A and B are shown apart, each in its own frame.
Chain A
Amino acid sequence: MARHLFDGTGTLMRFVLRRDRLRLPIWLVSFAAISAIIALAFVGLYQNAEERQAMAETMRNPAMTAMVGPGYGLDNYTVGAMTAHEMLLMTAVVVGLMSILLVTRHTRTDEEDGRIEMIRSLPVGRLSNLLSILLVLIGANIVLALLTAFSLTVLGIESMDFEGSLVYGSALGASGMIFAGVAAVCAQLSPNSRNTLGLSIAVLLFAYMIRAIGDVTNEALSWISPLNWILRSEAYVNNYWWPILITVAGALVLMVLALYLNSIRDLGSGFLPSRPGKGKASKSLLSPFGLALRLQRTGLIAWGAGILLIGASYGSVLGDLESFFEDIDLMQQMIAQAEGFSLTEQFIPVLMAVMAILGTIPVLMAILKLKTEEKNGRLEHILSRAVSRNRLMGSYLAMAIVTGFIMLSLAALGLGLVGNAMMEEQLPLGMFYSAGLAYLPAMLAMIGVAMLLIGWAPNAASMVWLYLAFSFFVIYLGGLFQFPEWVAKLTPYGYVSEIPIEEIDFLNAGILIVVAAVLMMIGMIGFNRRDIGR
């Protein structure tokens, strides 16, 4: 009886691999390649032990702890220790995201689109689909671990031996497995694919946040987060295996739980209730903008809460940052520039830039929703009524701008309010706010790029994500890699004034706005001239 639950799992696994024959290798190779590139970059950037040691000293502050995790091996900061310490957490989060996306795609999305129903009508076990995707994910994460370990070992860097690389790779793989488990459970709880994705990513962000707060304030708190577990493996320094084994065990428990939940629920249903809705529309829905707002309301609230939380958690370390550096005169001199700004003040634009780029994600989602609506054949309903294309696209543009404004405001307020509460010497809240809103023109430029693509090359619209990823890479890691100045100028974020250490450059802001407006206008012209289709 029970064995029939899993009939056909092997065939379905091959089917999953067939459907993801490009997607999966691209993910896996990218992780291995990026890890290797960054390790090599560190070798090139820090020529000797003294330079690395200086970097290690800057790592001893709470802000860095919150961002990349507690330091270890800081007394002998080898290239291996540096790579593992600074890159493991961020990479693990992205590996987790990969697992979540893949699991959701093959579980709830397939279920919602009726494909699971087709599969289940064949002589295939009730749990075979879930089991097959979980097995594929376990396999993929093992491959990820080995591939990363291998690519780091062959670099031949002295401090990066095979065992350390294997621990590093395995920590990434374990992160992938546990978030595959998380997504599998969420897929059973939620009534649809959207909620599955939202819930899983919320768990991922929560795991990151709780660890950041815990690492800075109370270490016991961090143990809730699986991301903390894998950080304890301390690759290249102590090479602990037990945290990885705990994480994998946790992943297996979640996967078994998901299989159990799947076995006791009906196809198409979830454990979280779905309520009956309104029979009539409220007034606020009855316009293209109202519809755009309504469709993205939940996402907007979730992103708003997330960005506020990130701002607040960065803010919570500002106070510690100050007191921490008060004790070490040497550090203060080394970091603080002659201009007379405190370390905190210099740190604000860096944090704002990261939050602004993160905040651009929901902004681009808002404008690209237009493309999604088109692909799903829903624009036809709107455009066959008395709504012009300008009004339609304008509504999504307005939605994107409002989203950007909200994101920047919340990030700045979170940072400023919590930061001021933590610091002895307060900084004006208005300064925080203008440091945040200074990024609005850059966001507008990104919206402009998206609109240009939607208007003229709708199939390439998602290319704007690559541009955002590039911007993040340049702005966030630019300081680390010491790119030449002009590289930052390739992204709109490179033109934003770094408040408070710089004055507002209205000319630059004005140029960004004009460029954005021109891009938007050209995009709109294209949208007016082309076919609306799938």
Chain B
Amino acid sequence: MTVLRTIGLTKKFGDFAALDGVNIEVGEGEVYGFIGPNGSGKSTTLRILLGILKATEGRAEIFGKDSWKDAVEIHKRVAYVPGDVNLWPNLTGGEVIDLFIKLRGGNNLERRQELIRKFDLDPTKKCRTYSKGNRQKVALIAALSSDVDLYILDEPTSGLDPLMERVFQEYVIEAKKQGKSILLSSHILSEVEKLCDKVAIIREGRIIETGTLKELRHLTGTILLVETREPIPALEGFKGVSGIQQKGQALSFQVDAGEVDQVIRYVSQFGVTRIESSPPTLEELFMRHYEGTDQAVESGAGGES
């Protein structure tokens, strides 16, 4: 079942198109990773989904309702952590958490205490004294103590230390087990790789790749590590081969999905002594999309496949 969906979402600020036809779809019980560099339109998309910004064109729906018109109704079942958490300098962390929980409706005191303990936050301090990480904890505690069906998290761990990052990941996994959906925008690719079922890569306001990690890897191809008796000539120019690196005696390179057969045939002529293959990491996928501009493919592997 679809929990969240955008169709042809476009947002213009004056002449500048921040989003240009963004389609994403998050199903029930799914953790959906939303990755892209700074200024690519991640936060704009999330803000439209929350009815804070109005889309210029296209539709944004959560629970099948319009995210602009039915914002209040939707928000009763959504928890959000903004990317840049600004709090009221003269309120304490504890007061802000209580306010946030109350404004959504619901009041789970036990869970609030547990989260404050786990995230190691001093709730009696005024927000003006909090570091970025502590402000983020306030927003996370408020979000995670609410019993909602969808979490929208905008780079929630960018200020947290590794220990707190792990606490956060445990809660995400727990929420997923309970059948809740999570839209997670992140920079930390290892985190996305660990948590997410599906990934969308956005760049300059356009989604350039979506699908499960498996699909993306398949599309992108395989990383081969080959050691041969004789040097392999003219590999640089070979069709479908990229990212060649010398690793000790061996060569490591990436092979496009459709070209594996051809490449193996070619390489085998030079006396293979060792061959290893591995799927590309998300980081390699990501880098590929951001470095090789022209290679960016509009993927056919959409959200539902």
Interface residues of A (CB under 8 A from B): 112, 192, 194, 274, 276-281, 285-288, 290-291, 294-295, 376-388, 529-533
Contact = CB atoms under 8 A, between A and B. Distances in A.
A393 to B, nearest CB: 14
Interface of B: 47, 50-54, 71-73, 75-76, 78, 80, 82, 84, 86-92, 94-100, 102-105, 123-126, 128, 139, 152
Given A288-B103, A291-B99, A530-B54, A386 B76 contact: yes
Given A281-B95, A281-B99, A532-B52, 19 more contacts: A192-B89, A194-B90, A276-B124, A279-B94, A279-B123, A285-B91, A285-B99, A287-B103, A291-B88, A380-B80, A384-B52, A384-B78, A384-B82, A385-B75, A385-B104, A386-B75, A387-B72, A387-B75, A533-B52
Contacts of B72: 386-388
Nearest to A388: B72
Nearest to B112: A280
A274, A277, A286, A383: most-surrounded residue (chain B CB, <10 A): A277
A399 to B, nearest CB: 15
Contact of B51 (A281, A294, A383): A383
A382 B103 contact: yes
A280 B98 contact: yes
Contacts of B96: 281
Main SS class of interface, B: mixed
Contact of A112 (B80, B126, B128): B128
A529 B55 CA distance: 11
Contacts, number: 108
Contacts of B53: 531-533
B100 A385 contact: yes
B94 A278 contact: yes
Nearest to B81: A384
Contacts of A386: 72-73, 75-76, 103-105
Given A274-B126, A280-B123, A384-B50, A295 B90 contact: yes
- By Cβ-Cβ distance, the 8 closest A-B pairs, closest first, are A281-B98, A277-B92, A281-B95, A286-B102, A384-B80, A385-B103, A279-B94, A377-B86
A385 B104 CA distance: 5
A287 B102 contact: yes
Contacts of B89: 112, 192, 194
A46 to B, nearest CB: 51
Contacts of A285: 91, 95, 98-99
A112, A530, A533: most-surrounded residue (chain B CB, <10 A): A533
A192 B98 contact: no
A278 B95 contact: yes
